[in-house]
């Protein structure tokens, strides 16, 4: 497992929710989310399950699309009830460091990036 330095998630444009892949939900996740949204389980599934795999795994975020629960202010709209996939995901310990590398780059202020660019040209 990779162990990069932690990042400030609030300085990131929610890359994990926009590009980090799918989010699978268990029965427990579905019940918790439905309760949080004050919905029945069948109503939640009808509205929010976007993909079901051949093996029956249910997903609320398919592939590399933006999560349906990401709010306009780049926060999770169901944070308290978020699925286990989301609870366990942090970009700094993933084998594929694409999301981490991009998030780390975005956390550097523009003047610092310009200084780095100048240093590289020397």
Under 8 Å between Cβ of 118 and 22: no
H or E, element range at 59: strand 58-61
Q: Model pTM?
A: 0.81
Mean pLDDT along residues 4-13: 88
Q: How far apart are CA 80 and CA 76, in angstroms?
A: 9
Q: Which residue has the higher pLDDT, 114 or 57?
A: 57
Pairing outcome for strands 51-52 and 23-25: unpaired
* pLDDT value of residue 66: 94
Give me the residues paired with residue 18 across strands: none
The pLDDT, as a whole number, for residue 24 is 96
What is the residue extent of each domain of the chain?
A: 1-19+91-122, 21-88
Q: Which band of pLDDT confidence, cut at 50, 70 and 90, is reported for residue 57?
A: very high
Q: N- to C-terminal Cα distance for the chain?
A: 35
Both tokens of residue 67? Answer: 């999560």
| Model pLDDT for residues 69-114, shown as the tens digit of each residue | 999 999 999 999 999 999 998 889 888 898 899 898 888 777 876 8
> pLDDT at position 10, please?
86
Return the percent helix, strand and coil in the chain, to nearest 5: 50, 10, 45
Taking residues 12-28, report their average pLDDT.
92
């Amino acid at each position: 497992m990779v162990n990069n330095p932690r990042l400030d998630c609030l300085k990131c444009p929610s890359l994990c929710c926009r590009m980090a892949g799918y989010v699978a939900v268990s029965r427990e996740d579905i019940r918790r989310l439905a309760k949080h949204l004050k919905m029945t389980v069948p109503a939640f599934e009808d509205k929010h399950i976007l993909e079901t795999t051949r093996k029956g795994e249910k997903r609320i975020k398919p592939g590399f699309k933006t999560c349906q629960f990401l709010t306009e202010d780049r926060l999770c709209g169901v944070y308290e009830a978020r699925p286990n996939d989301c609870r366990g995901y942090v970009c700094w310990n993933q084998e594929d460091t694409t999301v981490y590398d991009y998030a780390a780059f975005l956390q550097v202020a523009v003047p610092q990036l310009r200084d780095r660019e100048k240093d590289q040209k020397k």
